[in-house]
Amino acid sequence: MRTIDLSPLYRSLVGFDRLADQLDAAARNEAASGYPPYNIERTGENAYRIEIAVAGFKPEELNVEVKENLLTVTGRKAANDEAKQYLHRGLAERNFERKFQLTDYLVVVDADLSNGLLSIALKRELPEALKPRTVEIKTPSASTLIEGEKAA
């Protein structure tokens, strides 16, 4: 695994240490496991969808949790006491935990399980204070002109 030394950036960028920590965490997560496979899709200007392949998992065996901008999807397979004799076992059906770092103001809107895919809908919801707004430009009216001054 390649590591990137971000220490030279700390000399000139103040307050970006959280970003560096997130980059490090993302690099560690990717190296950890490729199971289960997933897609991240942009569905609109402020909308996204994460699709995770969870074939063989029931809804009660899956958990989707958001805490402090960290989306965690876990799958815990119930113990199967049946004595089966497999000639080939290609379906993993193993427990997993997949984490996604979310940006500020990105909220989970919905989660849906269909055809072995867990789809998680995300939407960016900016607070009113952060949205662009138009400021009205005022001009002096005739009643506010100083006496003796003529309007143009």
Question: pLDDT, tens digit, for every residue of 45-69?
Answer: 999 999 999 988 999 999 999 998 8
Fold of 36-80+87-127: Immunoglobulin-like (2.60.40)
Q: Which helix (H) or strand (E) holds 130?
A: none
**Looking at residue 137, what DSSP letter applies?**
P
Q: 3 versus 82: which is more confidently predicted? A: 82
Q: Is the pLDDT of residue 26 over 90?
A: no
Cβ-based neighbour number of residue 104 at 10 Å: 9
Q: What is the pTM of this model?
A: 0.68
Q: Is the pLDDT of residue 4 over 90?
A: no
Q: Which of 100, 99, 57, 55 is nearest to 75 (CA)?
A: 57
Answer whether 50's CB lies under 8 Å from 85's CB: no
Region(s) of the chain under CATH 2.60.40.790: 36-80+87-127
